[in-house]
Chains A and B, each alone.
Chain A
């Protein structure tokens, strides 16, 4: 605050600010006061930046096989050691983050779009549209997610990463759709929506302009949860050998080395880094999700 301002002006300004402060700004402030969430956010940002700048950070190639330096423990020019093909673990971790995060983010976006669309339509129209869409959603929920992902991924294995992402999206949208729909239904009862409809707003416009912004918080919370779930799903699938092709660095593929007890027992540097990376990333995402939920919750003290 500038010292040139008089007290009077300062009070005026503060008043203005308080009036203007949108729920978003309040939420942001609350979020930034949540230490755990802030630390997690900083951590996640670092991970993302490091992942996408991997070629600048690491001098090693993530794919080059170096048979002279296989399975060597940390040190000696390799920060975290090398795996059994002589690839630098640290480099793999960076490039792996890129693959795993990209897949996670793309799936998350896809699911949010699909889930929000279906949820919005069902919630907005209600009646038979809702009944049909929700029956369908319930039906999709009956499929054990992981089992179907594995079976589908193995059928469309040759089709590559995009097929994998599509499988995740097709099987993963149900939860988001349900949440959006119930939120939409309660929001729709508000008078401003009635007003918007009565002045002749098209459903699309009403949903987009009036309803969606109001359920955005729910969607954001869902999205963070989904991001975590999708990253776990990708790593688990790659770990089992049905995910991204071997040779493409990914956290799940790195963990695959730990299918061998010899590696678990003797070469901890091969599997502990990806294990810690996955867990800490999920942890960070969860904390951020909690933080956002708290921040938008008018009842919460923080």
Chain B
């Protein structure tokens, strides 16, 4: 297993370098100065721009620029945000905890919902309850996240007034206090519900089908023949076998959450990385855009790696390949 893990990680390194080259090329294509964020994008005086470019080394050959940028990135230096006039890493550091909280909560919601719905549908297949859950699944697969988010705001924030429709924490609260945490969770709940709820569909379906399939297997028949109660059969024997494959989907979730978070955070003006990406694009704060793009790409890569690794744990045959 260790060898397998090491090999996977080693394979990642050239991919990482290639990704960084792609992001770097994108940064060069962006208007202004997307690498260091030192040139005022509103100032178009050619003399000023030329002088700044010369000073910042933006007229150097591309590979020199790349080397300089990559060295910076390795030292956790992504340049400065022109709008916020501070290091990009610091800015992202402010937002990252929010995105992580949102992701964790949405993952929890996904697993809990999928577990209960999938278990119910799998135990009672082809009943009205099952059909109801299936119908819900189809709907959740079809509805785009931003549409779901707006419906959620309309219903839960405006009609019922249960959740705030915007922001990541209430104002006037001191960070770290009990009230602050409560407010934070309260603000995160609705976006997390939308983000988590939509990914539930595929999990539920997977679990349901797996349970139905397992229910036909010999070991279940044996258990049943021995007179084991139905409840025990489902909860102990089948579920244990059906839940494991679901865990392997976790890694891929990271990738899907990243895309989802960009939209959900923007709709809810939830102050996370995704919202920062969108607002930085709007404000032409391209050094931030470059940094976030790179970070999210790396996160996706790591997500795929985790998926591979977990898969290797669950299904040892994979490791031999």
A152 proximal to B (CB < 8 A): yes
Assembly CA distance A137 to B95 (angstroms)? 32
> How far does the alpha carbon of A278 sit from the alpha carbon of B151 in the complex, in Å?
13
Interface string of A142-153 (1 = CB under 8 A from B): 111111101110
Is residue B26 within 8 Å, beta carbon to beta carbon, of the partner chain?
A: yes
Residue of B nearest to A274 (CB): B147
Binds B, one of A103-111, A116-124, A181-189, A231-239: A231-239
CB neighbours (8 Å) of A282 from chain B are 142-144
Candidates B144, B146, B281; contact of A242 at CB < 8 Å: B281
Q: How large is the interface on A (under 10, 10 to 19, 20 to 34, 35 or more residues)?
A: 35 or more
Task: For A232, give the chain B residue with the smallest CB separation.
Answer: B144
Whether, in the assembled complex, B139 has its beta carbon less than 8 Å from a beta carbon of chain A, the answer is: yes
What chain A residues lie within 8 Å of B146 (beta carbons)? Answer: 235-236, 239-240, 255
CB proximity of A269 to chain B, nearest CB, Å: 13
Does B15 contact A283, Cβ atoms closer than 8 Å? no
| Residue A162 CB within 8 A of the other chain | no
B185 interfacial contact with A, CB 8 Å? no
Smallest CB-CB separation from B267: which chain A residue?
A259
> Among residues 105 to 159 in chain B, which have CB atoms less than 8 Å away from a CB atom of chain A?
138-139, 141-147, 150-151, 153-154, 158
Q: Please name all residues of chain A whose beta carbon is closer than 8 Å to the beta carbon of B182 when the two chains form the complex.
A: none
B282 engages A144 (CB within 8 Å): no
- Nearest CB of chain A from residue B32's CB, rounded to whole Å: 11
Is A236 in contact with B145, judged by CB distance below 8 angstroms? yes
Stretch at the interface among B47-55, B66-74, B297-305: B297-305
Question: Which of chain B's residues have a CB closer than 8 A to the CB of A287?
Answer: 138
The reply to whether B143 and A279 form a contact with Cβ atoms under 8 Å apart is yes
Count class of interface residues, chain B: 35 or more
Contacting residue for B144 out of A150, A152, A264, A278, CB 8 A = A278
Which of B146, B166, B281 has the most A CB atoms < 10 Å from its CB?
B146
- The answer to the question of B199 belonging to the interface, with a C-beta cut-off of 8 Å to chain A, is no
B18 near A264 with CB under 8 A, answer: no
Say if the beta carbon of B258 comes within 8 Å of chain A.
yes
Q: Is the pair A150, B278 in contact by a Cβ cutoff of 8 Å?
A: yes
A228 to B281 CA separation, bound complex (whole angstroms):
27
Q: Is B56 an interface residue, CB under 8 A from the partner? A: no
Interfacial chain A residues near B301, Cβ < 8 Å = 142
Asked whether B6 is an interface residue with its Cβ less than 8 Å from the other chain, the reply is no
| B266 near A151: Cβ-Cβ < 8 Å | no
Q: Give the one of A144, A152, A235, A264 with max B CB within 10 A.
A: A144
- Asked whether A144 lies within 8 Å of B281 as measured between CB atoms, the reply is no
**Do B259 and A279 touch across chains, with their CB atoms under 8 A apart?**
no
Give the Cβ gap from B164 to chain A, nearest Cβ, in Å. Answer: 11
A139 proximal to B (CB < 8 A): yes
Write out the residue numbers on chain B whose beta carbons fall within 8 Å of the beta carbon of A228. Answer: 142
User: B18, B147, B281, B300 — which one has the most chain A CB atoms within 10 A of its CB?
Assistant: B147
List the A side residues contacting B300 at CB < 8 Å: 142-144
CB-defined contacts of B18 to chain A, threshold 8 Å: 139
Q: Which interface residue of B18, B165, B266, B292 has the most chain A CB atoms within 10 A? A: B266
Q: Which residue of A lies closest to B154 (CB)?
A: A264
A-B contact pairs, 8 of them (CB 8 A): A142-B19, A143-B300, A146-B263, A147-B293, A147-B296, A236-B146, A240-B266, A275-B151
Q: What are the 6 tightest A-B residue pairs by CB atom distance, in nearest-first order?
A: A146-B259, A283-B142, A282-B142, A232-B144, A275-B147, A154-B281
If A150-B277, A155-B30, A279-B143 are given as contacts, then 9 extra A-B residue pairs at C-beta distance below 8 Å, sorted by A number, are A142-B15, A142-B300, A146-B262, A240-B266, A255-B150, A279-B144, A279-B147, A283-B138, A286-B142
